[in-house]
Amino acid sequence: MKNEFAATRRQFIKLVGAAMAAIPLLGLNNRAVAATNAAMRSAMKYQDKANDGKSCSGCAQFIPGKTATSLGGCKVCAGDTEISSSGYCVAWTARPK
C-alpha cells in the first residue's frame, strides 16, 4: 500500500515537472501555440491545395486568420490552427452568400 502511494506520487511529480517545463515554450514562441489535428485532417482527406475551384476560404466551416492568406481554423477540424485558406477537404460546404 505504501509503495503504491509512493509510485503514484512519483508519477504525479514527473507529470507536473513536464507540464511546468513546457509553459515557457508555449509563452515565448507563437509557433508552439499553433497546432494541427492530424487525425481529423486524415479523416477529412485535407490537402493544402484547392480542389476544382473549391477552397477553405469559400467554405462555411473556415475560420479566417489575421489576413486573407494567413492560416486559420476550421469548425470541423477542432483545435487545428493551421488550415490554409487555399486548402480543401471532403467536408467542404459552400459559404452562404
- Site residues for ligand SF4 per CB under 6 A: 44, 46, 56, 59, 61-62, 74, 76-77, 83, 87-89, 91-92
Minimal distance, residue 47 CB to ligand SF4, in Å: 9
* C-beta closer to ligand SF4: residue 9 or 75: 75
Q: Which residue has the cell 477552397?
A: 55
Amino acid at 71: L
- 10-13 contact pairs (CB < 8 A, 24+): none
* C-beta closer to ligand SF4: residue 6 or 38: 38
Half-sphere exposure in the Cβ direction for 45 (13 Å, CA): 6
d(CA 85, CA 68): 7
Minimal distance, residue 29 CB to ligand SF4, in Å: 25
* C-beta closer to ligand SF4: residue 11 or 70: 70
